[in-house]
Amino acid sequence: MTSPVTVLDVGHSKVTALAAANEADGRMRILGIGIADCSAIAKGKVVDPDGLAVAIESAVKKLNHAAKIEAKSLIVGVGGPQIEGTTAQGFIPIIPRSRSITREDVLQVINHSRQLMVPPGKEQIQVIPREFRIDGQGEIREPVGLSGSRLEVLSYLVFGDAAHVQALEKAVVAGGRSVDQMVLRPLSAALGTMTPEEVRSGAAMIDLGAGGTEIAVMQGGSISHTAAIPVGSSLITSDIMQLLKVDWDEAERLKVEHGGALASLCNEHETVQVLQSGQTQPRPMQRKVLCEIIESRTREIASLVRRELERSGSLARIPGGLVLTGGGAKLPAMDRVFEGAFPHVKVRSVEPNLQGIVESRPGLAAAVGMARYALQVGEDELTPASGIGNWKDRISRLISVLSGKA
C-alpha cells in the first residue's frame, strides 16, 4: 500500500477530512473519514474564521483516530459561487526547431497561459491544461517526446475570492498543519463519481449540496466549464420549516426520512407525524403535502442548472448526460425531476465507491475525488527547477487521473 494522502472538504454545513492510499493492485482504499459540523461558511465565504479552525481541527482529529495516522499536510477543496473559471491560451517557440519537447517546455507554456490578468479581489488557485497543440495539430494529451517548432496549450484557469482562500489557509495553519494544494471542488466531485467514458465523451456533474449546487462539465478528457448556483438542499429544509411551522431539526428529519422529489409518486393515504413548533404532540399530515413542498424547490434547482448549461453552451456538449451526487441527490426521484428538466438526456444518481468503508454516506464525492486526484497526479506534476515555494507553484496536468488510469 502506498503512503496515504489526506484531503479536506469544507462545505456549507460540515467539514470532511479523508485519508486514502493505493493498494498493490492500484485500487484506492479509504483509510478513514472524519466529519465535523460547521456553520462558518455562508454564501461561499468564511464568516467565522475561529469556528472554521475549530471544525477543521475536530474533523482531522477524528480522521487521525479512524485511520491511525497523523495528518500534517492537507489537500483542500475550494468551491462555491465565488469561484470563477476561464480558458486561456499559451504558446512558446521550440528552439532549435523540431527538437523533442521536454517537461520544461510544457511547464513554460502552461505558465505562459497563466499570465492572464487576475480579476480584482481574486486569486489564481489552480491551472488545468486541457489540450496541447504542436505546430497547429491539436488534441494532444502528452506532448513530451514529440517534435515541433511551436507548442501551444489551452488551460482552464481557476480563480477564487482572495479573502476566502486566505481564510481557508489560515484556518488549516492554525492547527499546525499546512496546505499541500488547493483543488477545484466541482472537479474533485467529478473525479469521484464519473466514469472515464463520461469524462472523455462529455458529461456534467451536478453536486447537490446543502449550501448550493456545483456544476462541472467534463469534455474531451478535461474540464471545460464550472459553475455554482446558490440554491441547495438546505433551502428545501427551510421551506419545510416555514410552510409546516416546524423547527429546523424537525424539518430536516421530515426531509430525510419521509421526503421525495415528486409528489405524484406519493400514495394519497400515506401520512407522516409532524411536530409543529410550540407543540408537545405530533399530528398526522399527508406525506404528499411534504413532497409537494420539496418538489417545488427541486424543480427550481433543476431549472437553474439547465439555464446555466444553456448559457455556457455546455448543454449540447454532454452526450454522456448528467451525473447527480451530493446529499440532495439522495432524495427519492431526484433523478426523475432532472429527467423532466432535461428531456432526452441521460441522468443517473451516484455516490463514490468507498472501498475500505462499509457505510456509504452522502456528500463524499468531492473528498473521494480529491483523494483520487492526490494519489494519481504525482507523475503528471510539473514544478519549477528551483523547487516548490508553496502550493500555488504546483501544476498538475491530470493526464493519468482524467484518462482513467489506476
Q: What is the pLDDT confidence band of residue 285, given thresholds at 50, 70 and 90? A: very high
Give the other-Cβ count within 10 Å of 99's Cβ.
12
Digit-coded pLDDT (tens) for 92-134: 999 998 899 998 999 899 999 988 888 888 988 888 888 899 9
Mean pLDDT of the chain: 89
Query: What percent of the chain lies above the pLDDT cut of 70?
Result: 90
Average pLDDT over residues 47-55: 94
What are the DSSP E strand ranges found in 51-147?
73-78, 84-93, 122-134, 137-140
Say what the pLDDT of residue 394 is.
65
pLDDT at 388 over 70: no
Q: Tell me: pLDDT of 73 over 60.
A: yes
CA separation for the pair 11, 55 (Å, rounded): 11
Confidence class of residue 24 from pLDDT cuts 50, 70 and 90?
A: confident
- Is the pLDDT confidence value at 405 over 50? no
CA distance 246 to 244: 6
Among the residue ranges 34-48, 73-87, 246-260, 348-362, the one predicted with the least confidence is 348-362
Predicted confidence at residue 376, as pLDDT, reads 76
Which position has the higher pLDDT, 193 or 308? 308
What's 353's DSSP letter? -
What's the confidence (pLDDT) of residue 249? 96
> Are 380 and 397 a contacting pair, CB within 8 Å?
yes
Specify the pLDDT at position 84. Answer: 87
Please tell me the pTM assigned to this model: 0.87
In one letter, which amino acid is 256? V
Please, are residues 24 and 16 in contact by the beta-carbon 8 Å criterion? no
Contact 322, 309 (CB under 8 A): no
What is the spatial distance between Cα 87 and Cα 67, in angstroms, rounded to a whole number? Answer: 39
pLDDT at 44 over 50: yes
Residue 98 has, within 13 A of its CA and on its CB side, a CA count of 0
| The pLDDT value given to residue 191 | 85
Least confident span in 151-165, 201-215, 341-355: 341-355
User: Which has more confidence, 338 or 195?
Assistant: 338
Check residue 397 and give its pLDDT.
64
For residues 172 and 24, the model is more confident at 172
Higher pLDDT, 116 or 387: 116
Band of residue 356 on the pLDDT scale cut at 50, 70, 90 = low
Q: Between the CA of residue 318 and those of 15, 117, 205, 249, 315, what are the distances in Å?
A: 31, 30, 10, 38, 6
Q: How confident is the model at residue 406 (pLDDT cuts 50, 70, 90)?
A: very low
Question: What cell does 332 get?
Answer: 427519492
pLDDT of residue 375: 84
Cα angle: 60, vertex 61, 62; to 5 degrees? 90
Beta-ladder partners of 228: 214
Averaging pLDDT over each range in 44-48, 54-58, 393-397, which range is the top one? 54-58
Higher-pLDDT residue of 219, 363: 219
